[in-house]
Structure 1
């Protein structure tokens, strides 16, 4: 019996091997158990982008690391990703 079929005894190596085999799934190792679910869909990505834009807009000047990336704006998102 391989370690991939045992319950509750998975290792980090098992996690990496499973992730390599199932790149389209989200795989986590929690307390020795592999938690597997579908990868994020396009709706998830849309929400993530919107959240990042709003967080960046809400940040006060000087709170963002200098020189990291130019601020995200709605106009930039449309031009960069269209």
Structure 2
């Protein structure tokens, strides 16, 4: 579960269900069981998973966001007529 302690976005299979867009929040050991709390970065929902029921964890690739140039809303042909 060391992969979950890294920063980033994760997807996992838990108890035959698929969850994605998750960010690691915390890990707790309670009465001999380990619980992992994650936050869905799109909905803000917090989810807690029992570690031994997680069957697969994968870190999602980071998306690089390239800033776009602002659109020029002035028609170039109209400017030259002024």
Provide the TM-score with structure 2 as the length reference: 0.20
Structure with bigger strand share is 2
Decide which structure has the larger Cα Rg and report it. Answer: 2
Q: Which fold has the larger relative contact order, with Cα–Cα distance below 8 Å and residues 6 or more apart in sequence? A: 2
Higher helix share: 1
**TM norm structure 1:** 0.20
